Structure 1
Amino acid sequence: MSTHAEDDVIAAVSADAASAAAPAAPNADRAVANRTRTFDTPRLRKDFAAQDAFLYLEDFLAPEVTAQLIHSARALLDEVNRNYLPGHKQGGSVSRHTIDRLAPFIAELYRSKELIGWLEQLSGDKLQVSPLDDPHAYALYYYTRAGDHIGWHYDTSYYDGRRYTLLLGVIDDSSCRLDYELHTRNPDMPDQPGSVQIPPGGLVFFDGDKLRHRVTPAGANEMRVSLTFEYVTDPNMRPWRRLISNMKDAIAYFGFRQVFRQLAARGKDRA
């Protein structure tokens, strides 16, 4: 598909989002609690541990939460920062800083005590939200052009502790799949490959340093949007790691203006 034709598709989706009335935002804690109380959490925790800190649920979010996320993802199309790293990734992203301004329900869901408490039961760790200046704390990832993808990687933690990724399906009108390999850093277990296509409302929860994964390329006229939440066990980060993390975020995801403008603003607030 040509860039011009693709822009027409995105413009049409953006126009539809602008004209559509926003659904009433649900109470995040109540919606999560109503869902998680129906799960066999002890069994899911065993599955998470057996798969070396990985869990996939096809149907996790309440329908009203999924509807709110879909509306937000479409409404933020004009805010997407496109990025391209030859041989590794191509796609678009919207960072938590933009989400804070334009889609506050996502931030509310990220901070939900019910959600964090349930994830703590799965992981066995005490989880904390990421620092305010971390653009990856919660972010939307867009695959809207033919060839959009991300190659094999780990969600490497630059924090002093572990970082867990919660990936939520938002929109999936695509052929993209999340391919993954379990146990790649466990010498006592053979690698175990897997592949899932995450529907809206689906969940993947994993330790970012343990799961090797990728998203396969989108086809023409396809659209996939996912939302990730990052939780940490220790929010401290050494200065040299902070520099590496910021440069990676600026180049590969959100752009220099988004990342370093926010850092400058935080610095002024502290002054």
Structure 2
Amino acid sequence: MSEQAEAVPDLLTLPGERQQPFADRADARADPDADVAARVGTLGHSAPRAEFERQGAFLHVGEFLPDEVTAGLVASARALQDRINRNYLPGHKQGGSVSRHTIDQYAPFIAQLYRSKALIGWLEQICGEQLLPSPEQDPHAYALYYYTREGDHIGWHYDTSYYNGRRYTLLFGVIDESSCRLDYELHTREPDVPTQAGSVQIPPGGLVFFDGDKLRHRITPLGANQMRVSLTFEYVTDPGMRPWLRFVSNMKDALAYFGFRQVFKRLAKGQPPRA
């Protein structure tokens, strides 16, 4: 099921340099929270919230992240290519993933953006709910998804929440040298509202924000000699989860995304999971 990339050294050190995560250098001067605060200040929230509600908890913004933040994400994504865990599920999914555990170690810039108060505050205004970070042991809290081989894709699905509350997905375009599209269906779980189909191509710095239990979606297959990388953030309204559902969620993530080593990393080290 899983095809693990070959190991590379944990640290990349150049002569005379202090050791540090190799993805940290490209964005050492960036301040993602300040950059995002400036952006959302000009974008506002009234019109995006109205669009989010009209579309049944779905919003697409073609240009969102400032250039400096997008550049930091691109640098991080390229630096982490040797850390990809590839998976193949016949008839449903083919591609590569890098979990938040690896990101924490090698690309702290992404974790900074995930915790941006300006970003979370704007998202809360859009969805009308308090959003909390996913628990530390959740490898999906923030993760990179790589389509690098012809045919990489994911079939129709929901981002099902196993948490006691709702789980919202924020998807950023990072690298898009492809013909892949996000196909989606709105209002599929609203019996009195007609289903509405749509399709978007998310450029670097663009975003999609939605309630994971409401949006049915897929990514169309990658063509030859193409590449696509996206970044997802997951926020929850209640971080509690029943033990059985935690096991189901972990098994799905291990088989379909990150591999058993990443998903059960804390348990393997004897560290209890934190909520």
Query: TM-score scaled by structure 2?
Result: 0.89
Partner of 2:114: 110
Q: Give the Cα–Cα distance (whole angstroms) in 2 for the partners of residues 74 and 147 of structure 1.
A: 20
Q: Give the Cα–Cα distance (whole angstroms) in 2 for the partners of residues 140 and 116 of structure 1.
A: 19
Map residues 67-82 of structure 1 onto 2, 5 A cutoff.
Answer: 67-82=71-86
Counterpart AA for 1:29? D
Alpha-carbon offset, residue 24 of structure 1: 4.2
Alpha-carbon offset, residue 261 of structure 1: 2.1
Structure 1 unaligned blocks of 5 or more:
1-6, 8-17
Give deviations 1:124-177, integer Å, cap 9, x for gaps: 000000000000000000000000000000000000000000000000000000
Q: Give the Cα–Cα distance (whole angstroms) in 2 for the partners of residues 187 and 228 of structure 1.
A: 29
Partner of 1:46: 50
Q: Give the Cα–Cα distance (whole angstroms) in 1 for the partners of residues 92 and 204 of structure 2.
A: 25
Secondary structure at the counterpart of residue 201 of structure 1: coil
Q: Give the Cα–Cα distance (whole angstroms) in 2 for the partners of residues 261 and 212 of structure 1.
A: 30
Partner of 1:142: 146
Secondary structure at the counterpart of residue 269 of structure 2: helix
Give deviations 1:198-256, integer Å, cap 9, x for gaps: 00000000000000000000011100000000000000000000000000000000001
Alpha-carbon offset, residue 268 of structure 1: 5.2
Q: Give the Cα–Cα distance (whole angstroms) in 2 for the partners of residues 137 and 263 of structure 1.
A: 17
Alpha-carbon offset, residue 269 of structure 1: 8.0
Q: Is the 8 A contact 1:28 1:109 kept in 2?
A: yes
Partner of 2:179: 175
Tell me, yes or no, if structure 1 residue 129 matches structure 2 residue 108. no
Q: Percent identity?
A: 72
Q: Give the Cα–Cα distance (whole angstroms) in 2 for the partners of residues 233 and 162 of structure 1.
A: 5
Partner of 1:3: none
Alpha-carbon offset, residue 41 of structure 1: 1.1
Partner of 2:260: 256
Partner of 1:237: 241
Give deviations 1:14-73, integer Å, cap 9, x for gaps: xxxx89x72444112101101001113111101100100000000000000000000000
Alpha-carbon offset, residue 111 of structure 1: 0.5
Give deviations 1:49-104, integer Å, cap 9, x for gaps: 01000000000000000000000000000000000000000000000000000000
For residues 212 and 101 of structure 1, do their structure 2 counterparts lie closer, same or farther at Cα, with a shift above 3 Å needed?
same
Alpha-carbon offset, residue 257 of structure 1: 1.1
Q: Give the Cα–Cα distance (whole angstroms) in 1 for the partners of residues 100 and 253 of structure 2.
A: 12
Partner of 1:10: none
Structure 2 unaligned blocks of 5 or more:
6-21
Give deviations 1:107-137, integer Å, cap 9, x for gaps: 0100011110000000000000000000000
Q: Is the 8 A contact 2:137 2:273 kept in 1?
A: no
Which of residues 207, 213, 217 in structure 1 aligns to 2:211? Answer: 207
Alpha-carbon offset, residue 262 of structure 1: 2.5
Which of residues 247, 252, 264 in structure 1 aligns to 2:251? Answer: 247
Q: Is the 8 A contact 1:25 1:68 kept in 2?
A: no
Q: Give the Cα–Cα distance (whole angstroms) in 2 for the partners of residues 56 and 77 of structure 1.
A: 27
- Range 129-138 or range 254-263, more displaced: 254-263
Secondary structure at the counterpart of residue 190 of structure 1: coil
Q: Give the Cα–Cα distance (whole angstroms) in 1 for the partners of residues 124 and 267 of structure 2.
A: 29
Counterpart AA for 2:268? A
Secondary structure at the counterpart of residue 48 of structure 1: helix
Partner of 1:153: 157
Tell me, yes or no, if structure 1 residue 189 matches structure 2 residue 167. no
User: Would you tell me which structure has more helix in proportion to its own residues?
Assistant: 1
Q: Give the Cα–Cα distance (whole angstroms) in 2 for the partners of residues 135 and 269 of structure 1.
A: 12
Q: Give the Cα–Cα distance (whole angstroms) in 1 for the partners of residues 141 and 273 of structure 2.
A: 20
Map residues 14-29 of structure 1 onto 2, 5 A cutoff.
Answer: 22-29=26-33
Query: TM-score scaled by structure 1?
Result: 0.90
Q: Give the Cα–Cα distance (whole angstroms) in 1 for the partners of residues 31 and 70 of structure 2.
A: 13
Q: Is the 8 A contact 1:25 1:105 kept in 2?
A: no
